[in-house]
Each structure stands twice: as structure tokens, then as C-alpha cells.
């Protein structure tokens, strides 16, 4: 759970991230687009070198592509040009977060809040940082300060919900996450967090929130896979398979989706032909996926293909010498 939370706190708050898998060509196009944009901003800077916002724009473009040093230089130039504006300090805090320098990040945010005390954004960012280091009391104070400035800040309620969740207060976490979702109906991470909480409680309300997340991102890998897994845990195997197939339609290298589908076919539906295909697809992606190799052996054994099963059990033992299930399977084949 905490890994899921930190993913959003660290990345969604710093730079705009695309949660869809990209092909190599899409990544190349994005890189070219970014490079072209940086060049365009650079040309504008030559004609208007005193415009600090142009430096901030170029810094953000470089930051999105992982170019920390030029982003850092541009932010400092912006600070030299406009030392009384809070915006450069907030972007500087993002850079320090990425660099792992939390002391300087907090210092930059405090300066931004000092320059613009009626702006809730520095306090929201402070709350994010405090949550990362698990200082919940300071995170709560920062969130409350942000909400005292803007009671409709959806991000602040999201962070408040996360804080309660990490402290084990599930009900208050749900309340604040719901408020966040109501304030911003396209808040993907809020829906995903709510879905995860309800899933941990084995509550089918999780399905509603996964579907809400998918409305904004219908091909989202994370939401599709987690919804499939939840249907599998509930015993709704047809629906689980349907969503695993959607995962593999959009993400053909998602080995866990193939594996889980194979497991359902093998254990729950006794459809050994389809199980064999699914496990074979898994091992095609990752030949060292031990559980998939073993289950392919189990499938062959169930089909009466004992020689093929023995081969797979031996492959497992080559990867893991003392894998007990493979040893038992090979002993059955030897008999």
C-alpha cells in the first residue's frame, strides 16, 4: 500500500506523468517534441531574456525529460530575475525533492509560503514531503493550513486521506478521499486509492472506483490489472479473465496477466489447453518466471503429457535446486 501511495506523492506532484505504457516510437516522438519545445523557448528567451517565466517553462520541460542540471540553472536564473515571486521557489522545491535534498526542498517551500501567504500550493507540497518522511503531525498541519486558505482543494483532502490511511484510521481516510473525489471527478489517483482501500476490506465498492478511474483512462494498466485481480479474488473468474485479456491487449508484455489467467484456467476451470497457452505466453516473455514454468509442468501433467511435464519440472530445478513442488512433480513422473 505504501509503495502505491508514494508513487503518487513523489511523481504526480512533481511533474506530469503519463501512466500509459508507451511504445519506443511514442517515446521518440515525445523526446523530439520536448527538444523542439525547449528550442522554441530558448529562441523566445533570446528575444526576452528578462522574462523569468520563460526560464521556468524551459526548466519544467527539461525536468519532465529528467534533465536536472539545466532545469536547476533555469530556476536559479528565474530567481535572480524575480526573487519576490513564489513560483520559482516551488519549482526549486520539486528539483530538490528529485535530488533527495529534503532540507532544501522544505526551505524553498517555506520561502514560497512567506512570499505568498494566501497561496495554498506551498502548504500542499509541504504535506506531500512530510508524508514521504512519515511525519504525519506536520503533514496534517500543512494540509489544514492549505484548507484554511482554500477549502475546496482536492489535493489537500487526498493527502489528508493518505495520512489517516497510513496511521490506520481507515474510516477517516475514506471520508477525506471521497471529498477529494467529489471535488475533482477526474482525479485518477484518488479513485485508485479508494479502490485499493476497499479492496483490502474485500468490499465490492472497490469495483466502482476502479471503473471510475478507467473512465478517464480506459486503457490504464494498473486499474485494469487490479480490477482483474479483485474479480479473481471474489471468484468471478469470467470477469477476471476478461480484464486480464484487456491488460494483454494493451500491454502484450504484461506477464502477470498471462500467469493469473493461466492459473484460473488450470486450478478453477480445469481448461488445461487454455492454461498451457497462457503459461507458455508467460514464459515466452520471461523464461525465468519459475512459477509459470512449474505451472506449465502441472498443466502438462494434467493433460497426461508426462514427458513434457518432466522437462518443465527439470527446468524449474535448474533455476531453483530445492524447489519442493518441482521435486514432488518429478518424483511422480519418475514413478
Report residue 216 as a C-alpha cell.
478517464
pTM listed for this prediction: 0.70
Domain borders along the chain are 27-116, 118-184, 186-252, 257-335
d(C-alpha 217, C-alpha 210), whole Å: 10
Inter-residue contact 284 to 254 (CB < 8 Å): no
- DSSP label at residue 264: I
Phi, psi values for residue 17, rounded to 5°: -110, 150
Report residue 186 as a C-alpha cell.
477526474
DSSP string for 171-206: HHHHHHHHHHHHH-TT-HHHHHHHHHHHHHTT-THH
Give domain 118-184's CATH architecture.
Alpha Horseshoe (1.25)
Q: pLDDT tens, position by position, for the chain (335 residues)?
A: 443 444 344 434 433 333 344 444 444 444 444 557 888 999 999 999 999 999 999 999 998 888 999 999 999 999 999 999 999 999 999 999 888 898 999 999 999 999 999 999 999 999 998 998 899 999 999 999 999 999 999 999 999 999 999 999 999 999 999 999 888 866 888 999 999 999 989 999 999 999 999 998 999 999 999 999 999 999 999 999 999 999 999 999 999 999 999 999 999 999 999 999 999 999 999 999 999 999 999 999 999 999 999 999 999 999 999 999 999 999 998 87
* CATH no. of 186-252: 1.25.40.10
Give domain 27-116's CATH architecture.
Alpha Horseshoe (1.25)
* pLDDT for position 186: 64
Q: Do domains 118-184 and 257-335 have the same CATH topology?
A: yes
* pLDDT for position 79: 95
Q: What is the dihedral of CA 297, 299, 300, 301, to 10 degrees?
A: 90
Residues 6 or more apart in contact with residue 2 via CB below 8 angstroms: 166
* pLDDT for position 64: 86
Report residue 225 as a C-alpha cell.
490489472
* CATH no. of 257-335: 1.25.40.10
Amino acid at each position: 500500500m505504501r509503495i502505491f501511495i508514494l508513487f503518487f506523492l513523489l511523481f504526480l506532484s512533481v511533474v506530469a506523468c503519463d501512466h500509459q505504457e508507451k511504445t519506443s516510437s511514442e517515446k521518440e516522438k515525445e523526446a523530439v517534441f520536448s527538444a523542439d519545445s525547449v528550442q522554441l523557448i530558448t529562441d523566445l528567451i533570446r528575444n526576452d531574456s528578462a522574462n523569468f517565466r520563460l526560464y521556468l517553462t524551459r526548466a519544467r520541460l527539461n525536468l519532465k525529460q529528467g534533465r536536472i542540471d539545466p532545469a536547476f540553472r533555469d530556476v536559479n536564473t528565474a530567481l535572480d530575475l524575480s526573487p519576490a515571486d513564489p513560483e520559482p521557489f516551488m519549482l526549486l522545491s520539486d528539483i530538490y525533492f528529485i535530488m533527495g535534498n529534503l532540507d532544501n526542498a522544505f526551505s524553498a517551500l517555506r520561502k514560497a509560503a512567506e512570499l505568498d501567504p494566501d497561496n495554498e500550493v506551498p502548504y500542499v507540497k509541504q504535506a506531500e514531503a512530510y508524508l514521504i518522511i512519515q511525519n504525519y503531525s506536520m503533514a496534517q498541519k500543512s494540509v489544514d493550513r492549505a484548507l484554511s486558505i482554500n477549502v475546496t482543494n482536492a489535493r489537500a483532502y487526498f493527502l489528508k486521506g493518505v495520512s489517516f490511511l497510513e496511521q490506520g484510521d481507515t474510516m477517516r481516510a475514506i471520508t477525506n478521499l471521497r471529498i477529494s473525489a467529489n471535488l475533482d471527478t477526474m482525479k485518477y489517483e484518488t479513485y485508485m486509492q479508494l479502490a485499493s482501500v476497499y479492496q483490502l476490506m474485500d468490499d465490492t465498492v472497490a469495483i466502482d472506483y476502479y471503473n471510475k478511474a478507467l473512465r478517464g483512462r480506459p486503457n490504464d494498466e494498473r486499474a485494469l490489472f487490479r480490477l482483474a485481480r479483485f474479480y479473481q479474488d471474489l471468484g468471478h473468474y469470467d470477469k477476471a479473465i476478461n480484464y486480464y485479456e484487456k491488460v494483454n491487449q494493451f500491454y502484450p508484455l504484461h506477464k502477470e496477466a498471462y500467469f493469473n489467467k493461466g492459473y484460473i484456467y488450470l486450478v478453477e476451470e480445469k481448461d488445461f489447453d487454455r492454461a498451457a497457452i497462457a503459461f507458455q505466453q508467460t514464459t515466452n516473455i520471461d523464461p525465468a518466471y519459475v512459477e509459470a514454468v512449474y505451472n506449465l509442468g502441472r498443466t502438462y501433467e494434467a493433460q497426461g503429457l508426462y514427458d513434457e511435464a518432466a522437462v518443465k519440472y527439470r527446468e524449474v530445478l535448474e533455476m531453483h535446486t530445492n524447489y519442493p513442488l518441482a521435486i514432488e512433480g518429478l518424483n511422480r513422473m519418475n514413478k
